[in-house]
Structure 1
Amino acid sequence: MNNREPQFDYPFPPYDRLEKDRETTGMAEGEPLARVHLPYGGDAWLARRHADVRAVMTDSRFSRAAAINADVPRAVERLNTNLSLPMMDPPEHTRQRRLVMKAFTAKRIEALRPWIEGLADDLLVKIAETGPPADLVDDFAWPLPIQVISELLGVSYEDRDEFREWTDAAISVTAHSTEEAEGGMRNLLAYMSELAAKRRQDPGQDLLTSLVQIGDEEGGLREDEIAMYGVVLLIGGYETTANQLGNIVYTLLKHPEQHAQLVADPGLVDSAVEELLRYIPINAAVGMPQIATEDVEMAGVVVKAGDTVFIDHAAANRDPQAFENPDELDFRRSPNPQLTLGHGPHRCLGAQLGRLELTIALNKTLQHLPDLALAAPEEELTWKRGRQFRSLEHLPVTWSQ
């Protein structure tokens, strides 16, 4: 069937905490590649099945770069004008990702483990000594990844309030105006450009220095590319991790049996993080638009050349064709091909860092505060709106002393 009529309006209605979107249910029974109508730029396809989402992520006939400066279907009025690494296509994407990965190595990330463990210990000891109640979002979920990415990238931790404000505007969906969003991105790029210039004059051991040095090599990175990578790594290095960490603790407190399971068997933490990444629908909005460069047949329809396709990671992660009992939180699930961190050539650059931080943070929380509980009725918890990611404003918790 090639139904060209929209089935849903997008954005979907405001999300309900970390519950599945109503529109993602029944995806295996109905038309899995749905037609959606967006407020700007027209109609698009929405891939929801695991196999289809993976296909869009890896098929070179879908272009991200074609959406730059184009009036394509989108949820916000402003056009995407930033040709950053996530929006590039091969072969330029391949070349630049290879250069960036020279600086963002697995060895470099793993070497941070003892230091991150110490940071987590310090934050949780302070929380425990202060006594309940505490706000695990403000006191732990945000400070930990911000300190980590500041140290790794070479950004001053003292500037955190400024770059958090700029980031919140730059990556908002509807929480900020077009002017505020564009201003936030300009400020981030200017900040990173100035910092890169300082690193050229006074090199350090940080990631930004490495990017500057790679940029100075023949065929390396331009000044504007270095600044953009600095911004991408800064935002990716703390925004998603902080939001997801708060979501993970909230989810465990809503599933006391699984929480007790991890307290009793910390050896399950690695697989628990993978399962929580699958189970929690962190995205409040569908991802980047991808444009078909030729006709592509998939999921029983023909995506015409020029059509826009979005992918729904959360729906794919609950696809019963890919996961047995997908709505069950199972810390022993194996295999677990969750797609939250992406797949294929655009797989998240910071996937290893994010996994490391979440694993350490969860381990340390279980050690220091094993009997953690919500300190407020769930109906009193407030959730951020108009942003790319689902997350709590605050997470009040308590524990026995």
Structure 2
Amino acid sequence: MTSTENEPVAYPFSVPVALDLDPRYAELRERPGLQRVKMTYGQPAWLAVRYEDVKVVLGDRRFSRAQAVGDDEPRVLPFVQRPDSIFTTDAPDHTRLRRAVGRAFTARRVEALRGAVESVVAEHLDALEKAGPPAELVHGFSLPVSMRVICDLLGVPFEQQKRFRGYADTILVNSPDVGIDPQQIVKAQLDLRAFLGELVDQRRAEPADDLLGVLVAGMREDGGLTEDEIIGLGVDVLVAGHETTANFLSNFVYLLLTTGTYTTLRDQPDLLPEAVEELLRITPLNPNAFMARVATEDVELGGQLVRAGEAVLPSMASGNRDVTVFENPEKIEFVERPPHLAFGHGAHHCLGAQLGRMELQIGISALITRFPDLALAVPAEDVQWRTTMLVRGPWGLPVTW
């Protein structure tokens, strides 16, 4: 067991380049123990980079998400997260919130959305095809498709979706370098909550079968949610469900086109399920580890003693490239592999994973079918990346066919 006396190094290690991971992750996976890191705000933390260590941090109840939240949480921005979010609670509160919102993500409800997703995808590809090449895929396809799906799920009126999107864009900024300061982010969070409060009031007056309607209908049931909790879940679903899927779509297309695997999938479309899982594994959607956990007792992790009260940052992106788990982890191969960590693990495993997989499979399949000769319209190095956002993806993806 190595000593806990370890001088913290600055983290994040670097500004990410495209979809690369800093080489220090690979170096750390080869070393025993954990790396001590210090972010801009909060206490120093241990950084977990190996697959099994990350799984333990995410799945072992000796690591608390709730106890990490507050002024001491290792983080980039100065403000702290709300302690009552589905992302910041432990059981039993987290279990109650998860059970409530899980009503909208049953297999039956997700499958019932398939036709709507296919229709939205086709509508946007029709528009791209009609306008002709070149086209911009992020704002012409990935973002609007994902926004429509998540808004339909929540019950946000179509004419309000642009407003909804504006709030999400501001909330997801993780750097003041883009001209948006923390006060603006907090204001966007408050404005979004006020907007969702209006929708909750509407569901009281006019019940509906969307997510907000289902949650409002259950308010009077034993264990039902409060209005504030419903609004918070609406914020969580928007941020987690919309931005992740939109950027996964754009990132997948970028990787397929720059690695030569677009033609592989075009010629062997039956590989689509394996392709989506492999692209989920290798795409580092979050540039750096975040959402720390705090040890509630002394725990040996990866040969390192983590003492009670110390924080650990789990890097799922690094764990997904652990050579002890994934053969040739840096190479995209459409083969069956062990389960990846892109959707997390344990109690906080993504509730929308099934919906996300469906959107990604439908979106990529439709693109390849409609545009078999799709190619980047600019050199790969000219694609501009959202390095100042919590979720990584291109600002734009110019394509031609």
Q: Structure 2 length as normaliser, TM-score? A: 0.96
Shift of 1:228: 0.5
The alignment status of 1:191 with 2:192, answered yes or no, reads no
Structure 1 residues 286-305: aligned runs within 5 Å: 286-305=289-308
CA separation of 1:360 and 1:6: change in aligned 2, threshold 3 A: farther
Aligned match of 1:235: 239
In the alignment, structure 2 segments of 5+ residues that lack a partner are none
Q: Answer whether contact 2:75 2:290 (CA < 8 A) is retained.
A: no
Runs of 4+ deviating beyond 4 Å:
none
SS of 2:256 mapped into structure 1: helix
Aligned match of 2:330: 327
Query: 2:281 pairs with 278, 283, 287, which one?
Result: 278
Within 2, Cα distance between the matches of 1:282 and 1:117? Answer: 24
The alignment status of 1:381 with 2:379, answered yes or no, reads no
Within 2, Cα distance between the matches of 1:20 and 1:32? Answer: 20
Q: Answer whether contact 2:29 2:49 (CA < 8 A) is retained.
A: no
Shift of 1:126: 1.7
Within 1, Cα distance between the matches of 2:217 and 2:13? Answer: 44
SS of 1:140 mapped into structure 2: helix
Shift of 1:96: 2.2
Shift of 1:57: 0.7
Within 2, Cα distance between the matches of 1:64 and 1:293? Answer: 10
SS of 1:53 mapped into structure 2: helix
Structure 1 residues 101-112: aligned runs within 5 Å: 101-112=102-113
Bigger Cα displacement from structure 2, 335-344 vs 66-75: 66-75
CA deviation vs aligned residue, 1:50-108 (integer Å, no higher than 9, x gap): 00000011111111111233323222211223420121101221122112212332210
Aligned match of 1:65: 66
Within 1, Cα distance between the matches of 2:140 and 2:40? Answer: 38
RMSD, aligned CA: 1.4
Aligned match of 1:138: 139
Aligned match of 2:125: 124
Within 2, Cα distance between the matches of 1:34 and 1:123? Answer: 45
Which residue identity is paired with 2:381? Answer: E
Within 2, Cα distance between the matches of 1:15 and 1:92? Answer: 35
Query: 1:253 pairs with 257, 270, 277, which one?
Result: 257
SS of 1:107 mapped into structure 2: helix
Aligned match of 2:47: 46
Q: Structure 1 length as normaliser, TM-score? A: 0.96
Which residue identity is paired with 2:279? Answer: L
CA deviation vs aligned residue, 1:269-305 (integer Å, no higher than 9, x gap): 1110000000111112312011111111111111111
Bigger Cα displacement from structure 2, 167-176 vs 246-255: 167-176
Within 2, Cα distance between the matches of 1:2 and 1:165? Answer: 47
Shift of 1:132: 0.3
Bigger Cα displacement from structure 2, 163-172 vs 227-236: 163-172
Within 1, Cα distance between the matches of 2:70 and 2:122? Answer: 45
Which residue identity is paired with 1:291? Answer: V
Which residue identity is paired with 1:56? Answer: V
Shift of 1:206: 1.1
Aligned match of 2:13: 12
Query: 1:370 pairs with 364, 372, 377, which one?
Result: 372
Query: 1:361 pairs with 357, 360, 363, which one?
Result: 363
SS of 1:215 mapped into structure 2: coil
Q: Answer whether contact 2:172 2:391 (CA < 8 A) is retained.
A: no
The alignment status of 1:390 with 2:392, answered yes or no, reads yes
Shift of 1:198: 0.6
Shift of 1:27: 2.8
Q: Answer whether contact 2:83 2:89 (CA < 8 A) is retained.
A: no
Q: Answer whether contact 2:82 2:88 (CA < 8 A) is retained.
A: no
Query: 2:267 pairs with 253, 264, 267, which one?
Result: 264
Within 2, Cα distance between the matches of 1:182 and 1:278? Answer: 32
In the alignment, structure 1 segments of 5+ residues that lack a partner are none
Within 2, Cα distance between the matches of 1:120 and 1:168? Answer: 22
Structure 1 residues 163-178: aligned runs within 5 Å: 163-175=164-176, 176-178=180-182
Shift of 1:31: 3.2
Shift of 1:383: 0.8
Aligned match of 2:92: 91
